[in-house]
Amino acid sequence: MDLGKISVTKLAIVGDLHGHFTDEDVHYFNRSTYDLLLFVGDMGSGTRKDGLSIIRLVARLRKPTLIMPGNNDAPHLPDLAAELAYQAGRREILQALGKARASWVIPVGYSAHLLSTPLGDMTLICGRPLAQGGSGLSFADTLERVHGVRTREVSFAKYRHLVADSRTRKLLFLAHNGPTGLGETADSLWGRDFAAPVGAGDDYPKDFGDDDLRAAVDYSELLDKEVVGVFAGHMHRRKGTSRPLSALRGATTFVNAAVVPRIRSGPSGPEHHHVAAHFTAEGLHVSEHWVNPTLD
């Protein structure tokens, strides 16, 4: 589905859900002032039933919405894609009858989308889905079947074509996992915060970002493109840890939106997490939000 050029002043980045998305979230985002919603993946908590229930909720969003499938979505990817297609078709019928408003909720991967922002026109490049971190090409069979990608080299070639074909100088990237190059410590944006598997050698990566995404960012700069932001998740930010929301490297803001669990107890009831990205003529501004969707 081609969304056409989307006018965006504010967008919301919703981190790894792992089943934490509710009716209240749907109502909150539908009445919000966000122009675009980005989901970085891992929609369900691992089971097909849970994943489908979350997708059915997300399909009710009435904002342009892009979903980057995560590694936990891989076993159920055909079901999730089919469910979104079914819900989209159903909404089109209801729309024709005057019983529903427009909706654009689509899964993405190796695709480009044109945005109009106060900072100028940008291309949002949606990268490799199903990423599991550590620069390995996870779920290669599925990636080859859906996107024709079997190796990291082919993945980088896909990125390279998307960058070279972009009609704008300014770029954004959306991925499930972030790029390498942001640090090797446990509190780095995509640094490994768990023990290496038994038997893993000394070269098991501490920087758990993806090298094909890093290569895409570097290639963009080689072509004199300006990478304004990179939005991803996967490496969880948990209570008691110091992994930050974002890091600024040169002109690029890197954002890890994956707070787990996404819903916590607050003084006035449950609080739900998302990240806001706001474009002004001066630049991109990101901020973290915990909201009670029934009150805010």
Q: Looking at the predicted structure, is the pLDDT value of residue 51 above 90?
A: no
Q: Looking at the predicted structure, is the pLDDT value of residue 32 above 60?
A: yes
Q: Give the start-to-end residue ranges of the domains of the chain.
A: 6-291
Segment 251-259 mean pLDDT: 97
pLDDT grade, residue 127 (50/70/90)? very high
Q: Distance (Å, rounded) from C-alpha 202 to C-alpha 224?
A: 36
Residue 293: count other Cβ atoms within 10 Å of its Cβ: 21
Segment 241-245 mean pLDDT: 91
Segment 147-174 mean pLDDT: 97
Mean model confidence pLDDT for the chain: 90
pLDDT of residue 91: 55
Q: State the maximum Cα–Cα separation within the chain, in Å, rounded to a whole number.
A: 62
pTM (predicted TM-score): 0.93
178-222 pLDDT, tens digit per residue, is: 999 999 999 999 999 999 988 888 889 999 999 999 999 999 999
Q: Which CATH number fits domain 6-291: 3.30.70.260, 3.40.50.720, 3.60.21.10, 3.40.640.10?
A: 3.60.21.10
Phi, psi at 219, each rounded to 5° = -65, -40
Q: Looking at the predicted structure, is the pLDDT value of residue 99 above 50?
A: no
pLDDT of residue 2: 65
Is the separation of the CB atoms in 169 and 182 below 8 Å?
A: no
Give the residue among 171, 163, 152, 156 at the shortest CA–CA distance from 230: 171
Give the residue among 129, 108, 118, 86 at the shortest CA–CA distance from 37: 108
Q: Looking at the predicted structure, is the pLDDT value of residue 75 above 90?
A: no
Is the separation of the CB atoms in 274 and 39 below 8 Å?
A: no
Q: Looking at the predicted structure, is the pLDDT value of residue 95 above 60?
A: no
Hey, what are 178's tokens? 């972030």
pLDDT of residue 86: 59
pLDDT of residue 50: 73
pLDDT grade, residue 34 (50/70/90)? very high
